[in-house]
Amino acid sequence: MSKPELIAPLWTVRDVAEYLRIPVATLYSWRTTGYGPRARRIGKHLRYRPDDVMAWLDQLTDGVA
C-alpha cells in the first residue's frame, strides 16, 4: 500500500510576513487595500497557500512591492 502524499501546510500571517520579511501590520494593511498574496479565511483566522504567496511574488514585474 502506498503512502498518501502529504499536503503542504497552510501559512499563517506571521509565516508569510517572515517569508516576505515585512511586518505583520504591513500584510494586514495590504489586505485591506486588496494588495498582496491571496489569503483564505478559516473561521476567524487567515491562512495562505505557500504556492499563492510565491506566485504573487513572481508576478511582481518591477521587483518592488
Residues contacting residue 10 through CB under 8 Å, at least 6 positions apart: 40, 42, 47, 48, 49, 50
50 is a domain residue = yes
17 is a domain residue = yes
Q: What is the pLDDT of residues 3-54, one digit of tens each?
A: 666 777 999 999 999 999 999 999 999 999 999 999 999 999 999 999 999 9
In single-letter form, the type of residue at position 54 comes to: M
Domain assignment of residue 24, given as a range:
13-59
**First vs last C-alpha separation in the chain:** 46
5 is a domain residue = no
Cα(50)–Cα(63) distance, integer angstroms: 19
Cα(51)–Cα(11) distance, integer angstroms: 10
Say what the pTM is: 0.80
3 is a domain residue = no
Domain total of the chain: 1
